Structure 1
């Protein structure tokens, strides 16, 4: 036998051994975070770049990929990235928020190690430290299905990522100083699509494309529409949904979804528009859907906003349904998990508010405004460091007590099944996010929630997602199955409110420590605060 045949045989055996082992692929990245000067709204300003890019690099990965990402901080402030919607199964050590991780100091690095375990869908990442999110540093995470796992729609020709959000011309440090001094943010100066005031998507007539749309802004809901074309929503934050056509879509802060668009009109350019919602002053950003081999410009007026706001938007939100017969990342149907038949073990009503505390504007949950600790809560819990956080500050239901500040943790247990009502008695739109999980959004309603509202819950085919809107003077109910041990951030996705206290952490605990439930700390764990000098 020739040498070449021996080598080929050895390679074949090696491939087989990798397949038998079954370990998911590893993907390695090195990202350097710097400042740069660009002009997103026509005025030069300092932004945060990742590898020189604004927005940052796109993470295109596959279900169960292992991500090894070395992040080098070249800013003049400590820095973290969080992976919005990535569940970090059994691994809140990698969540990238101040309650779980020490920030990466200037001129140093940290290597994130996490897995897109049992996930598909459209997500994004962004800075969680200081007010860096107002300077950029955000980017897309697209998680594709593994080969051989069916998807419940024809494979699109290509997909396009659209990161849309409000933007300020003011420097992020100046905005942070306004909040630190007890003020509020001004109205945003504009909207951006992929870091610009315009974008063009080009495709062929008769072909179908996927648009992956995320609201990466700080404060503004927006409505998205394409002139002359309907959109079929197929995926919302990892859930495959019943495929209904829409002429426009409300997308709230922190939310993501995927739509299919078929180029079935006369070849020319068509307007793409995103416009703010639920605010008195309207902002819009316009792009183009371009048919290839056509030089006919867009004509007519850009598509208008749909009539009304709250009633229209709430009706649309209720129209999103879980596709019960489709699978997600695993081959079993989503509807095989009968969430509506599970008994609730704990119920909470979390009411947001905007109190003045010591003369400064703060935001609170059940009257408690969160303050960060120098010691991450996850480290304090792991090392048994007392006095870092309180598990008694936030009560399960609102009260009329005076607003206070605390580093608040809500204590829960692994395998609890929670009912959480978000009560919004303010006139502004709210958006709530939970790290480490997705949840069933089972109810929306106006006014005050009461136990009788449970009769209105969708207990059959509510979709799962990681971020839900709560309409002005309204309530939203979610159900959560606590199957992911760790310390998880529940926060307002509206970044001014998050920064000034509308957040807390949920400890999902188990008295029996087991690697089957939670991983050990990583070898490169950063230590800070009272955890300095401790040993893993």
Structure 2
């Protein structure tokens, strides 16, 4: 046998074992409304698969291929599917966010998500990327098992945490994005969920080591998770192995994932509490009936007494920035391209509160941005064709890209990047508004040699984050706040990475067919024009600014004044003029105090004796 033939045979033998074990997993799911009662308190319509909810966990192995046929049986809503954290190398059209990388799937249509996971392993999840639709249940765990996992355990369990709303997302969105909610207060959930229920049970056997995969599949509130009298050792974050770090509790923002090793007790004479708690600082108000904590059970022996709620005060010792990648990936070099973004929440001329990066709130184009790339030829390298309100940036191949986000808002924001993980080069603490700091590239804290790598990171109130990645995955990638109410408000940008290489990708016929089915153009710029690629007349844009002289405080004052007037009329009708003035003086005094504290009035409201005199 010749030397060349021997070499060929050796190469084939090396490749064959991998090819032999790689599998194709085929799923046929119809998304349809299902009556469910996640928290045991309220039955609502949830998005199930094939008549069942919760949705199934998907488990595959490294390098496997997935064929998932998704039929939209919702009748009254479009849908889509995003596999959160997967890179979709060479298959950008499988990423999922509607009007970014695909057209929405209209009712009655089927779309095939067909992709290979390549080298990725770890904890991921899938969810609708149509509005905040996944708050109605279109979400599930997606786990890629690693045959060469670098730690030992006996068994594993997937644990999703989330919150539940008793009303559907489209109704909540209409009230949220409304001039009668001028402060942009997010909808308050009704309950915490663990594995899409309350009072869940996790079974442990004595002396075993468990890998617990925690995934926050919620849309809004970060959560604390702590386990009574058990230590948790973090070994994986967002699909990236990290140096083992033992912690007392976890703080998990929406879309983040943590895998931890837990050593079970040697005896089975007691059961233990698994607690979860809302980060209530993220809530604009806390209704009296809202429980901020919930208990599930770690059960060793069902015959033993059930655990009691375990009270734990987070010490502040948990900080994601302290985690290090296991493979010791060094800090990337100085960036070739820096994108600096300022987060602002403010009102526009329609009275609605929006979220902005650099005074631009994301508005979806008439043509999905990926389709603009694929149809624009040489114009694809010019960011202008993607529209003024998609906030698109064109990235050059293999550039080191740095994204700096300065928070001018009092809230926490979990930012997620599609198509990549990133190095968390800097992450500031939270600041008070009058002490806030923007990132200064010429004057900052020392960088870590081996910074944390993940795909979703928390931006603290009035703080900043600095992220770096290499542009080595051609595609149209969304960067957005994963607090989905803020994405609904427009807190997103689009990264068009190596557009000429994107044009070498060939989407399947399905990709174009669903666009035709829902009446979305497959060619053109953000305005749908093909004759002049730089003619953006008619593109979707954000509303005009507030008229001069109008401010958020003005809208709030107007809203409160309107409530005062309505309440006063109601009191007059209900009780009679004289009695209403006396009985409701406390209400007027309270409203007056609120207005004064916010510097919204200079003279007292009509109340007390003045009100009586005016009434007479």
TM-score normalised by the chain length of structure 1:
0.85
Give the superposition deviation at 1:482. 1.1
- 5+ residue gaps, structure 2, are 1-12, 430-435, 529-616
Q: Which residue does the alignment assign to 1:131?
A: 132
TM-superposition CA deviations, 1:66-111 (whole Å, max 9, x none): 1111001100211101111011112110001111101111011000
CA, structure 1 residues 299+378, in 2 after alignment: closer, same or farther (shift >3 Å)? Answer: closer
Structure 2 counterparts to residues 57-72 of structure 1, below 5 A: 57-72=56-71
Structure 2 counterparts to residues 89-238 of structure 1, below 5 A: 89-98=89-98, 99-145=100-146, 147=147, 149=148, 151-154=149-152, 156-182=153-179, 183=181, 184=184, 185-238=186-239
- Tell me if structure 2 keeps the 8 A contact 1:389–1:406: no
CA, structure 1 residues 361+20, in 2 after alignment: closer, same or farther (shift >3 Å)? Answer: closer
Q: Which residue does the alignment assign to 2:35?
A: 37
Residue 428 of structure 2: SS of its match in structure 1?
A: strand
Q: Which residue does the alignment assign to 1:8?
A: none
- Tell me if structure 1 keeps the 8 A contact 2:22–2:61: no
CA, structure 1 residues 455+202, in 2 after alignment: closer, same or farther (shift >3 Å)? Answer: same
Q: Which residue does the alignment assign to 2:305?
A: 297
- Tell me if structure 2 keeps the 8 A contact 1:62–1:144: yes
- Tell me if structure 2 keeps the 8 A contact 1:219–1:253: yes
> Which of the numbers 347, 353, 358 marks the counterpart of 1:366?
358
TM-superposition CA deviations, 1:231-258 (whole Å, max 9, x none): 0111011111111111101011110110
- Tell me if structure 1 keeps the 8 A contact 2:367–2:523: no
> Which of the numbers 358, 373, 380 marks the counterpart of 2:372?
380
Aligned mates of 2:78, 2:378 — CA distance in 1 = 25
Structure 2 counterparts to residues 203-282 of structure 1, below 5 A: 203-264=204-265, 266-267=267-268, 268-277=270-279, 278-279=281-282, 281=286
Give the superposition deviation at 1:321. 1.3
Aligned residues: 486
Give the superposition deviation at 1:217. 0.9
Give the superposition deviation at 1:389. 12
Residue 419 of structure 2: SS of its match in structure 1?
A: coil
TM-superposition CA deviations, 1:112-158 (whole Å, max 9, x none): 1111121011011111113312211100001111x3x3x2211x222
Give the superposition deviation at 1:202. 0.7
TM-superposition CA deviations, 1:246-298 (whole Å, max 9, x none): 1101011110110111112642210001101133546222101111x452224
- Tell me if structure 2 keeps the 8 A contact 1:422–1:475: yes
> Which of the numbers 335, 340, 345 marks the counterpart of 1:344?
335
Aligned mates of 2:117, 2:247 — CA distance in 1 = 30
Q: Which residue does the alignment assign to 2:325?
A: 322
Once the two structures are overlaid, the 10-residue window that deviates more, 180-189 or 378-387, is 378-387
CA, structure 1 residues 16+339, in 2 after alignment: closer, same or farther (shift >3 Å)? Answer: closer
Task: Calculate the aligned-residue CA RMSD, in Å.
Answer: 2.8
- Tell me if structure 1 keeps the 8 A contact 2:132–2:219: no
Residue 177 of structure 1: SS of its match in structure 2?
A: helix
Once the two structures are overlaid, the 10-residue window that deviates more, 45-54 or 445-454, is 445-454
Aligned mates of 1:525, 1:139 — CA distance in 2 = 23
**Rg bigger for which structure?**
2
Instruction: Tell whether 2:17 aligns with 1:26.
Output: no
Aligned mates of 2:239, 2:311 — CA distance in 1 = 29
Give 1 or 2: higher helix fraction: 2
CA, structure 1 residues 159+23, in 2 after alignment: closer, same or farther (shift >3 Å)? Answer: closer
Q: Which residue does the alignment assign to 1:353?
A: 344
Aligned mates of 1:390, 1:189 — CA distance in 2 = 46
Structure 2 counterparts to residues 477-496 of structure 1, below 5 A: 477-496=466-485
Aligned mates of 1:30, 1:511 — CA distance in 2 = 34
Aligned mates of 1:122, 1:36 — CA distance in 2 = 27
Give the superposition deviation at 1:485. 0.2
- Tell me if structure 2 keeps the 8 A contact 1:233–1:258: yes
- 5+ residue gaps, structure 1, are 1-14, 324-333, 395-403
CA, structure 1 residues 279+512, in 2 after alignment: closer, same or farther (shift >3 Å)? Answer: closer
